[in-house]
Structure 1
């Protein structure tokens, strides 16, 4: 009976990302990456015995993890969490990273062979490990990519076959399935160009929490409220956003407005410096880190949402803005990035900014909206209608993925 029970297990292999840090204390309080934590919650509700291997990939991730830790959490009683540290053995980061990856691989192989699961589910950080299982074992392996960001650049350069052979060739492995988030990053391009042609794959738009909003016909605030949500780093366009505000100030935009920026990151100091230098401290509120529920309140109390993510603009933050019914501005797609965004979100509903001249074009777009407030309300109304058409709840979205995983196990 014990072997039969083990054979029905799922093994999830993830990086120990910040959203699951509470697990180290035996507490379930996930933050961010709902595609992962909501899937685990669904597995627990289904009573699916599972093991989640969480690997620390940097010394920082392993700061409080000195040994392998195992936890069972009351809220997810069917799941065993195993946290594996980063091994700082030599003090030389590059050498320690190589040693750690080797040890992690040994631990993962040992755990999987011991459990003999019906499914191994790996994130993108463990693509190479998933390839080992796909090539060298009979286990069914599903790779879960939360977008591809700059992954295509790795495969476009032939020299990476020598410099990074495991990562370079791993995507050619005979996986049972590849599931990828449709987040605006060049998912279609990477999967069509580099994935093993025999491997089935699917691209899934993330779900949304159902947000009830009393004012279906959006009531404009006075002054108009502009919202930016995202990490304060170069990929998210936070500095371009500040530059657009500077241009609007220099051109003496007549309509009053306030700005809230939600998020923290490596450029936080530079953002504060520029706000002070441009005399924008009075107009811009830096809200810092906010919980999911707090962020939703920001959506519900804003008039214009801006996303300048150069890696893709179908992220959770954009989808949540859409379902909240806010006039939304995103970057226009290029040859491979945001092609899905341009297909899903009509340009006359969700406004676009030229990614080659972001600050200049954004300043013009926002100023035009401020001078024609009826357009903000019309965009908000049509955005709400659009979201009801193209988005689904996380409950429905996760149930679809779970059904797919069960079908993979049966076939």
Structure 2
């Protein structure tokens, strides 16, 4: 193995997510002559074959994804350490909260020379609740445990990568977590050759929401705003892509979803695989989220040349220059959102203007090729 060629372990969670969001990055590593081992918790024959087709090696491992079971976590970490030790990699790169914690500890136990982690957002435990809602005891507990585990594991990282500049402030500085080195990546990026710009629909005007149907994604504000706007503009369409998460206490209920569908306020095709086709049929992309890393859905919408309405919160504000490629609104405000939607309906020329700027912005900041090269440097170089 030449000096440049290295063994690199990528540790994530589910295989489908790795294939969706790490595919072009894995291709880049292979292209550069590195041996790549991709760890996931749920390989099937199909996903395992897809990883092999990229030229990488799939590795199954166990991770107690939810819950707080220290014995399961210790067992998983020891098993993971043994798998890493067998490979003897030069670098371990983990992403998502639990893999960063336990992947880092396992890599340290396996004496890996370089360990890098990436948090693509702080997640549910660090996302603020709306002013009228009290934070649950469970959420406070999960956050406290996460901070404790970050404090233990982060000291062994050679570098931690965040997507936006707010996350390291709200996590590391606020909770006094020590790390050797911090880098800000920006968005993961989008394949600009796949997501091409198309003219936005103006007859009818369609507003599109993509995401899990959870309070923190802003689904309630989107639905309420749609209900308000529909009274004045029954011809305008509101489309919701995404599934209900029955196990999540902040999820939209099936009853509420049925109400909005029956009242003809929204169209809900559910979870779809052809997201791009739905973006192309839309006019404006809306994400009233309470907090993000840097949302991939918004980057894809921008690459297709879509106006964006999103909240002025960490992660979301990185995707919109207010009044240039879209509109920033305060979080938790269905009224404010309905006013901005109404403004765009009454000024369709602004939809065209913002759309053109969105694509330019995507090319400048969210080209997957550029972002993958940047991530590659962050992982490899001290």
Bucket of the pairwise TM-score, normalised by the shorter protein? 0.7 to 0.9
Match of 2:306 among 301, 326, 329: 326
Structure 1 unaligned blocks of 5 or more: 21-29, 56-60, 88-92
1:173 alignment partner, SS class = helix
- 1:383 corresponds to 2:358: yes
Residue aligning to 2:295: 315
- 1:50 corresponds to 2:26: no
Residue aligning to 1:26: none
Match of 1:129 among 77, 93, 102: 102
CA distance in structure 2 between the aligned counterparts of 1:286 and 1:118, rounded to whole angstroms: 47
Distance 1:159 1:365, change over 3 A: closer
Match of 1:141 among 108, 115, 129: 115
Match of 1:273 among 248, 254, 258: 258
1:196 alignment partner, SS class = coil
Distance 1:329 1:386, change over 3 A: same
Residue aligning to 2:330: 354
- 1:199 corresponds to 2:181: yes
- 1:247 corresponds to 2:228: yes
Residue aligning to 2:25: 39
For normalisation by structure 1, the TM-score amounts to 0.74
Q: Are the aligned partners of 2:202 and 2:348 in contact in 1 as well (CA < 8 Å)?
A: no
Match of 2:89 among 117, 133, 138: 117
CA distance in structure 1 between the aligned counterparts of 2:205 and 2:67, rounded to whole angstroms: 49
CA distance in structure 2 between the aligned counterparts of 1:70 and 1:379, rounded to whole angstroms: 41
2:238 alignment partner, SS class = strand
1:351 alignment partner, SS class = strand
Structure 2 unaligned blocks of 5 or more: 129-138, 246-251
1:179 alignment partner, SS class = strand
Residue aligning to 1:288: 270
CA distance in structure 1 between the aligned counterparts of 2:369 and 2:120, rounded to whole angstroms: 18
Q: Are the aligned partners of 2:127 and 2:216 in contact in 1 as well (CA < 8 Å)?
A: no
1:189-268 aligned at under 5 Å gives the runs: 189-193=170-174, 194-210=176-192, 211-213=195-197, 215=199, 220-249=201-230, 252-254=231-233, 256-266=235-245, 267=252
2:381 alignment partner, SS class = helix
CA distance in structure 2 between the aligned counterparts of 1:323 and 1:83, rounded to whole angstroms: 34
- 1:397 corresponds to 2:371: yes
Q: Are the aligned partners of 2:9 and 2:89 in contact in 1 as well (CA < 8 Å)?
A: yes
1:132 alignment partner, SS class = helix
User: Post-superposition shift, 1:197?
Assistant: 4.8
Distance 1:313 1:261, change over 3 A: farther
- The superposition leaves residues 239-280 of structure 1 with CA deviations (integer Å, 9 ceiling, x where unpaired) of 22111122223xx31462112211112236144223146x22
1:42-121 aligned at under 5 Å gives the runs: 42-55=28-41, 74-77=52-55, 79-85=56-62, 97-121=69-93
Q: Are the aligned partners of 2:202 and 2:283 in contact in 1 as well (CA < 8 Å)?
A: yes
- The superposition leaves residues 274-321 of structure 1 with CA deviations (integer Å, 9 ceiling, x where unpaired) of 3146x22xx522122222xx2122222211111111122730111122
Distance 1:302 1:407, change over 3 A: same
User: Post-superposition shift, 1:396?
Assistant: 2.4
Q: Are the aligned partners of 2:25 and 2:372 in contact in 1 as well (CA < 8 Å)?
A: yes
- The superposition leaves residues 139-174 of structure 1 with CA deviations (integer Å, 9 ceiling, x where unpaired) of 2100121222346589xx998898568514235414
CA distance in structure 1 between the aligned counterparts of 2:365 and 2:145, rounded to whole angstroms: 41
CA distance in structure 2 between the aligned counterparts of 1:303 and 1:240, rounded to whole angstroms: 19
User: Post-superposition shift, 1:322?
Assistant: 1.6
Q: Are the aligned partners of 2:310 and 2:317 in contact in 1 as well (CA < 8 Å)?
A: no
1:204 alignment partner, SS class = coil
Q: Are the aligned partners of 1:307 and 1:313 in contact in 2 as well (CA < 8 Å)?
A: no
1:232 alignment partner, SS class = coil
Residue aligning to 1:24: none
- The superposition leaves residues 75-104 of structure 1 with CA deviations (integer Å, 9 ceiling, x where unpaired) of 133x221213468xxxxx968x43332221
